[in-house]
Amino acid sequence: QVQLVQSGAEVKKPGASVKVSCKASGYTFTSYGISWVRQAPGQGLEWMGWISAYNGNTNYAQKLQGRVTMTTDTSTSTAYMELRSLRSDDTAVYYCARTTYCGGDCYSWFDPWGQGTLVTVSS
């Protein structure tokens, strides 16, 4: 079955970086994109960006431009999300989700989702 398995919880200090992994299985990795979505405690879902697993093209949320980098390793069907210069308001559960390609630079719905990775930023 299609499955995304994420790396474990992280605790980081302000100013540090974190890199979360997302290993895909059960489908052709390069036929879809991977999106990253985060959810701060008690808050809603926030779209962070997507990466095409086919050609590595990316599109990031404007508010994260310059701090986030999404990459893939097609040899291991794994996607990565690195967030730098961490702040306390980056504390959240980070999800990866397989994203369906809809033509051009269009990636639409998210299914399935990884189990989530809690990133805590605290001094």
Partner 1 sequence: QSALTQPASVSGSPGQSITISCTGTSSDVGGYNYVSWYQQHPGKAPKLMIYEVSNRPSGVSNRFSGSKSGNTASLTISGLQAEDEADYYCSSYTSSSTNVFGTGTKVTVL
Which of 37, 64, 83, 121 binds partner 1 (CB under 8 A)? It is: 37
Segment interacting with partner 1 (CB under 8 A) among 14-22, 45-53, 72-80, 83-91: 45-53
* Least distance in angstroms from the C-beta of 21 to partner 1: 16
Q: Rounded distance, CA 84 to CA 80, Å?
A: 13
- The DSSP 8-state label assigned to residue 89 in this structure reads G
* Least distance in angstroms from the C-beta of 75 to partner 1: 26
Which residues lie near partner 1 (CB under 8 A)?
A: 35, 37, 44-47, 49-50, 59, 61-62, 95, 97, 100, 102, 104-116
